[in-house]
Amino acid sequence: MRTKHQTDRLLMTLVLLGLPIFLSLDSVWLSQYFSHGQMVANVIMIFFYCGFLAVSNSKLRWIILLMTVIGFFGEILGSIIMTLYRYRLENIPIYVPLGHAVIFITIYHLCRQPWLWRHHVNVEKILHILILTVSLGSLILYKDIFGFNCYLLFLVFIRNKVKPLFYLMLFAMVYYLEIVGTRYASWTWYNVLGNHMDYFTTANPPCGVAGLYMVFDMLSNYIYLFFKLKFKEREQISLPT
């Protein structure tokens, strides 16, 4: 019988290795031969989402749920209201807000692996250099001003983090996800769509879009801590004197 630790490691591995195949389900290429790819992707994401919920502790479950809700409203803001990007079928696929939480928890478990944590200092240095190189390259080659500003937001967010491995790995993962998704045309950013000529120029995808994920993380943790403190206060008030 699998332990929770073995299960979350299995789910983590499947997410990391299967991401290109998963996103291909909602690609323009596959839609020529199979019109229900997005529906299949939604079902698969629900399975992984429920799997991570099942093996997570109480705090992680709340963070996953909060990140899902925040991610959903973030998608409404970014995709529908601000139209910064557009999904292939001009909707918000179910796998997207659920996927925000799944990516978060996948990187969380990855960074807890002993083989990675033993070398975290060197890995952090390498990731800092790679992320800076990619961000500058995108700015110079594609005039990715929007993406570079998101990268600067990311730097502000992690400036006081003593061990920023999780956030650096999350940045790398999100950028990788964005590259695969935009190459499949599962979604497209506003520079290719041709709208918002008055916005900052950007690439497809913006290099530092992972900086926006930091906002999801920050809001989820703040909301969790807020309600946790409120419940503690209520418990103290109800205790007999």
d(C-alpha 41, C-alpha 20), whole Å: 12
pLDDT for 192-241, tens place per residue? 998 888 889 999 999 998 888 777 777 887 788 877 776 665 555 444 44
To the nearest whole percent, how much of the chain has pLDDT over 70?
94
d(C-alpha 208, C-alpha 151), whole Å: 4
Q: Report which secondary-structure segment, H or E, holds 189.
A: strand 187-189
Domain boundaries, the chain: 4-238
Q: Could you tell me the sign of the dihedral formed by the alpha carbons of 214, 217, 223, 229, in that order?
A: negative
pLDDT for 73-84, tens place per residue? 989 999 999 999
What pTM was estimated for this model as a whole?
A: 0.90
pLDDT for 8-39, tens place per residue? 899 999 999 999 999 999 999 999 999 999 99
